[in-house]
Amino acid sequence: MSTVESLLNPSASKLFSSKSLFNPSISSSSIFSPAPRLRRLSSSSSLSIRCSATQQMEAVVDSVSPGQFRVDVLSESLPFIQKFRGKTIVVKYGGAAMKSRSLQASVVNDLVLLSCVGLRPILVHGGGPEINNWLKRLNIEVVFRDGLRVTDAETMKIVSMVLVGDVNKNLVSLINKAGASAAGLCGVDGRLLTARPAPNAAQLGFVGEVARVDPTVLQALLDKGHIPVVSSVAADESGQMYNINADTVAGELAAALGAEKLILLTDVAGILEDRDDPKSLVKQIDIKGVKKMMDEGRIGGGMIPKVSCCVRSLAQGVRTASIIDGRLEHSLLLEIMTDNGAGTMIIG
pTM above 0.95, yes or no: no
Return the CATH architecture of domain 85-347. 3-Layer(aba) Sandwich (3.40)
Burial grade of 250 (CB within 10 A; 0-12, 13-18, 19 or more): buried
Per-residue pLDDT tens for 48-98?
Answer: 444 554 555 555 555 678 888 888 878 888 888 999 999 999 999 987 778
Per-residue pLDDT tens for 155-187?
Answer: 999 999 999 999 999 999 999 999 999 999 999
The answer to whether residue 215 scores a pLDDT higher than 80 is: yes
DSSP letter for each residue of 160-198: HIIIIIIIHHHHHHHHHHTTS-EEEEETTGGG-EEEEE-
- Please report, for the chain, the start and end positions of each structural domain, with discontinuous segments joined by +: 85-347
Q: At what angle do helices 246-257 and 303-315 cross, to 10 degrees?
A: 10
